[in-house]
Structure 1
């Protein structure tokens, strides 16, 4: 084997690059390490026709929620469908106040309509909708048919929405009651192009909205025909504003009311992201305190450091100089692993730390295979240089096969798992790829160096078993029986824990 000095230049450059990633980028921590909130939502399918109920509906809802929460500055969140009609949202490091704002943004479906208020020519229309017998009878009819599932908006002349009376200073709801709206001339929120926080003429928080060209034409036609009447801006069945139409409105307008700044921000977020295909209903909420996350980090790092020390000692004691080469490759493997995770913004979870320990074991396992094959070749009388080359060549297929199967398993875990399990899968995939590079390429460069300098003349490894040939096939019956017993014990233990533990 000839010494190729350029390999060490490549190793130095790669080490420097990934070390810069380690120190330049922050590490994103999962909810189990940073603390935070985990929300699970089930979709309310009561208003969804059977032909539209599918996992695609759940994915569409999750995508809109993801855009909605991204606009709130939650880049480190995890949101994904779980099962056919559930969504899991993980929010690392958020406070309880922030979590409430997020839940407000989630529970709002974003179903926006512009509708004319029935008999709103009078300035006293609010009182009419609370006292006029004709209006009350129409409201009651619509509500009853909605309860019976006999209300079809596209075929109905009227609709009902909740009108809220709020305190002007705090925005707190004092009273709410139903009002009657006209479905004729209604303009749906699908024509909305955008929304921004704004201020009304008195400096109070408001929302400015912008219409698409087709929506602007429809809104202009509706407002021109209904000047002097009130137009209700209805979001998820609640009237957020009902101003009098003073003139024609087309491509832009303003939603005013007794809003707080947080309510305006939430409303803008909802309008920008669009309406949800199905309403999410909070099914469970778990909160992890930051102190628990800090304790998990301490325990996890203790496990990693302990694993590193024990691995270093094992490789040095058993394989001497070749073991130190494996240790150097292991350090580089960890640098590449952490550098890649930080560069990609991958989330580190508690199972991810377990994945790091597993990667360390698999990395040195590859070096053990190589060293043992080198010893076998040398024991057969092959010169040391040829033994090293043969050791790498013969160990390659076993190392590649075992790592490829593990990567495939990690891909499956990432595809079907939730946040922490996906963190384990990501760590495992990155670590395996980097360990292949360090075990098969970096260690070979160091073996070339030791051979060229005369530092490695024979594999002076520690021998525990002089003749490690074990007749597994010859004694297959007891081995198979033992395996079956262990498998059945595992099944029994799994069943005894109960489904609630998984």
Structure 2
């Protein structure tokens, strides 16, 4: 018996020492949520129709190319709307082949007669839903990578609302709203395209008009937008990037962005530049040409993007290029900033409420259960220590609802001790000695306490699964608290009773 108590005591001391080590200092070890340390709260809508539009345009181009390769006659493939194409004057004699092509290469599309030799080629509604859902998922992953590049600890990035196309982003501790919004919203569609041969568009607004009409100025007026005629198909896109970083062009002493390509992209880039030495290559970012250098020689796996960048702009551009392009544009619908002072007030109020609640509970226990109340107080303090230690170890985020979860944990911990003490008192009323009453009392309330905490744990798991942000914070603290409740009530309280009674042969009464 004595050896068992010593072993349990050593284990408890090691546990307490480990918890103190993990928590200390609490300011650095416990991650605070947006409502406690301040930060940015953003809700944005993903324009999923952009992805459907891109899919429609790509399908039109690919389908026309496939028909040409199969030497199937048709006049044109026209885009009628989102997910709606019309094939003009399709050769009906080869309709079976066309249907086989559709079934094999475009299983999510339907081919129907539109009359007059034309055929409707449309995206199925179920397939469109899948495309839109995938677009939101891809946007979330891209945003997550960009936020990670910002170095924000414990951001919240999840779907929001019931429409299925909204994303919630919370950045605790981050205060630069303008930069965060710009980095998150940047589409960052990078493309390298070959400039078509002919007079440079930056010397005329419309070259065909300048050559056909007289007295048309060939220089761009101030504020006008110039255009480049480029190939429709990009030689290299952002998907081919391996890395991107901000650098300095030592010839001009201006900031730029250097990029490198992965093996497959580098092979295509080398072949592309080698075949087009002496021609211009447009570097296109979000449908805008940032520069159009002349290819001097074959380029392998590296290049640079130059423009009128500041250092900060070059850093941010490299960041979004590394994180990848968004599959669709974003529209901000809600923006909220929580200042650090408001977060400090929340912490102060939450801590005050916790301490007042804890003090009230402890005083009641000590008054009602006397010396046995000291047992319960010790178990409750260890319960809180385990809760904070677990949150620090697993880097869980503490939010204001999480503090409410801590307070609720205190109450449920008291409830477990009340069950134990009342059962012990009942056993003693039947004439059992204190040692026997304690043993029987703990054994008979064990499953009651486990069942009660398991039921609450299931509810907490549901809250975590289907809740967002603060609700999840509440669920996390509640779950950890419930598990530690069972441990401290059934193991620590029992150990303290056994330790106190171990040095006595006769225990005529128990202070309870």
TM-score range, shorter chain: 0.7 to 0.9
Q: Give, in whole Å, the separation in 1 of the partners of 2:50 and 2:379.
A: 59
Cα deviation 1:81-105 (Å, max 9, x = unaligned):
224221111111222xx22112111
TM-score (norm: length of structure 2): 0.78
Number of residue pairs matched by the alignment: 422
**TM alignment of 1:67-466, pairs within 5 A:** 67-83=145-161, 84-95=164-175, 98-119=176-197, 124-128=200-204, 130-133=205-208, 176-184=225-233, 186-200=235-249, 201-454=251-504, 457-461=508-512
- Contact 1:451–1:457 (Cα < 8 Å) also in 2: no
- Contact 2:376–2:493 (Cα < 8 Å) also in 1: yes
Deviation of 1:54 (Å)? 4.6
- Contact 2:146–2:320 (Cα < 8 Å) also in 1: yes
Q: Give, in whole Å, the separation in 2 of the partners of 1:134 and 1:213.
A: 44
- Contact 2:157–2:170 (Cα < 8 Å) also in 1: yes
- Contact 2:201–2:228 (Cα < 8 Å) also in 1: no
Q: Give, in whole Å, the separation in 2 of the partners of 1:333 and 1:193.
A: 48
The DSSP-based 3-state class of the residue aligned with 1:183 is: coil
Pick the aligned partner of 2:42 from 39, 42, 53.
39
- Contact 1:28–1:348 (Cα < 8 Å) also in 2: yes
Whether 1:63 aligns to 2:112 is no
Cα deviation 1:178-206 (Å, max 9, x = unaligned):
44321256322222211122111222111
Q: Give, in whole Å, the separation in 1 of the partners of 2:447 and 2:21.
A: 33
Partner of 2:88: none
| Structure 1 residues 246 and 131: CA distance shift in structure 2, 3 A | same
The DSSP-based 3-state class of the residue aligned with 1:182 is: coil
Deviation of 1:57 (Å)? 3.3
| Structure 1 residues 229 and 125: CA distance shift in structure 2, 3 A | farther
- Contact 2:433–2:507 (Cα < 8 Å) also in 1: no
- Contact 1:375–1:459 (Cα < 8 Å) also in 2: no
Cα deviation 1:268-294 (Å, max 9, x = unaligned):
111111122232221110111222111
Please say which of residues 245-254 and 176-185 is displaced more in the overlay: 176-185
Please say which of residues 66-75 and 360-369 is displaced more in the overlay: 66-75
Deviation of 1:414 (Å)? 1.4
Q: Give, in whole Å, the separation in 1 of the partners of 2:245 and 2:210.
A: 35
- Contact 2:49–2:132 (Cα < 8 Å) also in 1: no
| CA RMSD, Structure 1 to Structure 2 (Å) | 2.3
Cα deviation 1:247-285 (Å, max 9, x = unaligned):
222211111111111111111111111122232221110
- Contact 1:135–1:180 (Cα < 8 Å) also in 2: no
| Structure 1 residues 428 and 26: CA distance shift in structure 2, 3 A | same
Partner of 1:152: none
Please say which of residues 346-355 and 228-237 is displaced more in the overlay: 228-237
- Contact 1:374–1:459 (Cα < 8 Å) also in 2: no
Q: Give, in whole Å, the separation in 1 of the partners of 2:210 and 2:256.
A: 30
Cα deviation 1:404-456 (Å, max 9, x = unaligned):
11111111111222211111111111111112111110110001012223496
Please say which of residues 415-424 and 439-448 is displaced more in the overlay: 415-424
Partner of 1:30: 33
- Contact 2:50–2:329 (Cα < 8 Å) also in 1: no
Q: Give, in whole Å, the separation in 2 of the partners of 1:272 and 1:456.
A: 72
The DSSP-based 3-state class of the residue aligned with 2:246 is: strand
| Structure 1 residues 276 and 185: CA distance shift in structure 2, 3 A | closer
Deviation of 1:131 (Å)? 3.2
Partner of 1:487: none
Partner of 2:122: none
Q: Give, in whole Å, the separation in 2 of the partners of 1:175 and 1:99.
A: 31
Q: Give, in whole Å, the separation in 1 of the partners of 2:383 and 2:490.
A: 12
- Contact 1:114–1:232 (Cα < 8 Å) also in 2: yes
The DSSP-based 3-state class of the residue aligned with 1:181 is: coil
| Structure 1 residues 180 and 394: CA distance shift in structure 2, 3 A | same
Unpaired segments of 5 or more residues in structure 1?
Answer: 138-164, 166-172, 462-502
- Contact 2:201–2:229 (Cα < 8 Å) also in 1: no
TM-score (norm: length of structure 1): 0.79
